């Protein structure tokens, strides 16, 4: 007898239909799966065989052939265990009916328990888009799946429950839909009020958050660069529902949701170390997963000690910085993951870290310093809108009893600046000033003759490239938005020029 079960392959952040066909025939007992990569097949066979035995059913002593169709769809990961097991039980008439408008997804453990499976959120969303009426998933994934409406989502603990459900001995009720409400209060690890001094740096972060501008911070160790980077997420506007959905899909695929949350509501903050592997940083691997740069999507990517990162990794960053996604090449085609983040990079002024410090003495020679500073390529430096010197905070300042402005207050100003951008870009894909193209810059960054004069003389003095010239315009536009000003004024350009690299 031939049984057919529907399942889903998660590809990128989307999904494609996969049909699991199970055929049983007489002959020498055998178990073959076609349509899966070699190693995954062996592992899946063992889990399916044990799980069926351990749920009180019989593993048929027949020739079992499982085909995962279509052949050209990439099928990876252990999520086909459950549909294969159900297919075998249906073909061997241990259960009699599985609805044709149902999809089944899940990894089995040897004892028949359903394990937390990666990628359930994008899978369930695709199941719904493909027109299925119900989907069966592991209970461990129910929280993330609950945010999808208008489809019956059945969650089970183990294979035994599912067998009983199909035998009509047990009713699995659909899990209730969890409507998304934007949290009233956003709680982040670091609040701006906890940072003492650094007023200049805080202002730069406010501008960065308002217009989505990348920042490069230079300063000696202990000047608080990490703290500042961490605090940046706390002043970004709350995620919209769409954004939260994108972020949650990514975290679902890498299995970081752990059934604790339904929708990720905080902006992500990721700070991979410079020794992190390429795949972990950029994405890819045997079952292509998003890397750190995609886990930072819609949030902040902090690269501390930027010059220590391998050069080829920094080169790869250019695509996401320009386009907001990363393309991963694979043996059979390419795959894209979103990667739109604010890049906050930090560097020491020299290898020992103390070249610009007022308290400690630098031990590096001129050649070492020059080599260190050349490690970051020009094109990457060019993509940093804000260059910021972060000095060490004086001891007296640290012991002062003043409390800084709370993140919540700053976030309100950021939101106001974002609203101005929203109405400016309503008919385009652009969200923030940092993403403006040439046409938009021409239209929205009008300068009067005084402003033009200032900018021209500054570009001559600083030897600015055309690209840097446009960066200054975009940054000035954000500073004007923060000041609630329709026009870019002299003071906005003057402030923007402060954030150019000193050479």
- Whether 190 and 230 have beta carbons less than 8 Å apart is answered as yes
Residue 321 to residue 300: CA distance in whole angstroms: 12
Nearest to 364 by CA among 309, 372, 388: 372
CB of 355 to Zn ion, least distance (A): 5
Running DSSP on this structure, what letter comes out for residue 486? S
- Whether 325 and 337 have beta carbons less than 8 Å apart is answered as yes
Using CB under 5 A, count the residues that bind Zn ion: 5
Among 362, 380, 414, 488, binds Zn ion (CB under 5 A): 362
Nearest to 205 by CA among 118, 300, 318, 120: 300
- Provide the token pair at 274: 């410079």
Preceding amide of 70 cis, omega within 30: yes
Among 207, 355, 480, 482, binds Zn ion (CB under 5 A): 355
Angstrom distances, CA of residue 315 to CA of 37, 176, 296, 379: 31, 46, 18, 9
- Whether 124 and 118 have beta carbons less than 8 Å apart is answered as no
Among residues 156 and 217, whose Cβ is nearest to Zn ion?
217
Q: For Zn ion, which stretch binds (CB under 5 A), given 30-38, 63-71, 360-368, 491-499?
A: 360-368
364 is an interface residue for Zn ion by CB under 5 A: yes
352 is an interface residue for Zn ion by CB under 5 A: yes
301 is an interface residue for Zn ion by CB under 5 A: no
CB of 438 to Zn ion, least distance (A): 40
Residue 142 to residue 124: CA distance in whole angstroms: 11
CB of 350 to Zn ion, least distance (A): 3
Among residues 349 and 404, whose Cβ is nearest to Zn ion?
349
Among residues 373 and 468, whose Cβ is nearest to Zn ion?
373
CB of 364 to Zn ion, least distance (A): 3
Please give the residues from 461 up to 480 whose contact with Zn ion meets the rule CB under 5 A. Answer: none
Nearest to 52 by CA among 159, 162, 169: 159
Q: Going edge to edge, which strands form the sheet with 102-104?
A: 30-34, 63-69, 14-25, 2-11, 102-104, 134-138, 152-156
Among residues 98 and 364, whose Cβ is nearest to Zn ion?
364
Q: For Zn ion, which stretch binds (CB under 5 A), given 61-69, 97-105, 200-208, 353-361?
A: 353-361
Q: For Zn ion, which stretch binds (CB under 5 A), given 10-18, 200-208, 361-369, 490-498?
A: 361-369
Q: For Zn ion, which stretch binds (CB under 5 A), given 72-80, 349-357, 377-385, 386-394?
A: 349-357
Nearest to 271 by CA among 229, 313, 322: 229
- Whether 480 and 488 have beta carbons less than 8 Å apart is answered as yes
Q: For Zn ion, which stretch binds (CB under 5 A), given 206-214, 334-342, 364-372, 424-432?
A: 364-372
CB of 390 to Zn ion, least distance (A): 16
Angle between helical axes of 199-211 and 225-232 (0-180°, round to 10): 30
Among residues 88 and 364, whose Cβ is nearest to Zn ion?
364
Among residues 138 and 349, whose Cβ is nearest to Zn ion?
349
Among 350, 376, 447, 455, binds Zn ion (CB under 5 A): 350
The greatest distance separating any two alpha carbons of the chain, rounded to the nearest whole angstrom, comes to: 90
303 is an interface residue for Zn ion by CB under 5 A: no
372 is an interface residue for Zn ion by CB under 5 A: no
Residue ranges binding Zn ion (CB under 5 A): 350, 352, 355, 362, 364
């Amino acid at each position: 007898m031939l049984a057919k079960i529907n399942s889903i392959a998660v590809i990128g952040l989307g999904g494609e239909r996969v049909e699991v066909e199970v055929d049983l025939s007489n002959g020498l007992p055998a178990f073959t799966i076609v349509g899966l990569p070699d190693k995954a097949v062996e592992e899946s066979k063992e889990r399916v065989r044990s799980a069926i035995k351990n749920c009180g059913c019989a593993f048929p002593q027949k020739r079992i052939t499982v085909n995962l169709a279509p052949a050209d769809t990439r099928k990876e990961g252990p999520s086909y265990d459950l549909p294969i097991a159900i297919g075998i039980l249906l073909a061997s008439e241990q259960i009699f009916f599985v609805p044709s408008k149902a999809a089944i997804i899940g990894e089995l453990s040897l004892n028949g328990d359903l394990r937390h499976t990666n990628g359930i959120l994008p899978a369930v969303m695709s199941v719904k888009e493909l027109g299925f009426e119900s989907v069966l998933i592991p209970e461990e994934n129910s929280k993330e799946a609950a945010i999808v409406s208008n489809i019956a989502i059945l969650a089970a603990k183990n294979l035994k429950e599912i067998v009983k459900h199909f035998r009509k001995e047990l009713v699995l009720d659909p899990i209730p839909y969890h409507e998304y409400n934007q949290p009233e209060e956003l709680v982040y690890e670091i609040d701006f009020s906890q940072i003492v001094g650094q007023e200049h740096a805080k202002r730069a972060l406010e501008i960065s958050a308002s217009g989505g501008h990348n920042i490069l911070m230079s300063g000696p160790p202990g000047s608080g660069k990490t703290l500042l980077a961490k605090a940046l997420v706390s002043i970004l506007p709350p995620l919209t529902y769409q954004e939260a959905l994108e972020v949650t899909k990514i975290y679902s695929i890498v299995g970081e949701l752990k059934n604790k949350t339904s929708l990720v509501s905080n902006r992500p903050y990721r700070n991979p170390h410079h020794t992190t592997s390429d795949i972990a940083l950029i994405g890819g691997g045997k079952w292509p997963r998003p890397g750190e740069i995609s886990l930072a999507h819609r949030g902040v990517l902090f690269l501390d000690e930027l010059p220590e990162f391998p050069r080829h990794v920094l080169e790869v960053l250019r695509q996401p910085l320009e386009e907001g996604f990363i393309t991963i090449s694979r043996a059979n085609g390419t795959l894209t993951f979103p990667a739109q983040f604010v890049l906050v990079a930090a560097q020491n002024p020299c290898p020992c870290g103390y070249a610009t410090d007022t308290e400690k003495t630098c031990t590096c020679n001129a050649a070492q310093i020059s080599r260190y500073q050349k490690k970051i390529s020009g094109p990457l430096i060019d993509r940093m809108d804000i260059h910021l010197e972060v000095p060490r905070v004086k001891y007296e300042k640290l012991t002062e009893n003043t409390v800084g402005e709370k993140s919540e207050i700053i976030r309100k100003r950021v939101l106001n600046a974002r609203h101005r951008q929203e109405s400016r870009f309503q008919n385009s894909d652009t969200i923030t000033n940092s993403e403006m193209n040439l046409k938009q810059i021409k239209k929205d960054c009008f300068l009067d003759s005084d402003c033009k004069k200032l900018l021209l003389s500054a570009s001559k003095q600083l030897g600015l490239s055309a690209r840097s010239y446009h960066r200054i315009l975009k940054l000035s536009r954000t500073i004007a938005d923060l000041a609630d000003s329709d026009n870019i004024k002299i003071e906005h350009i003057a402030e923007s020029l402060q954030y150019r690299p000193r050479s």
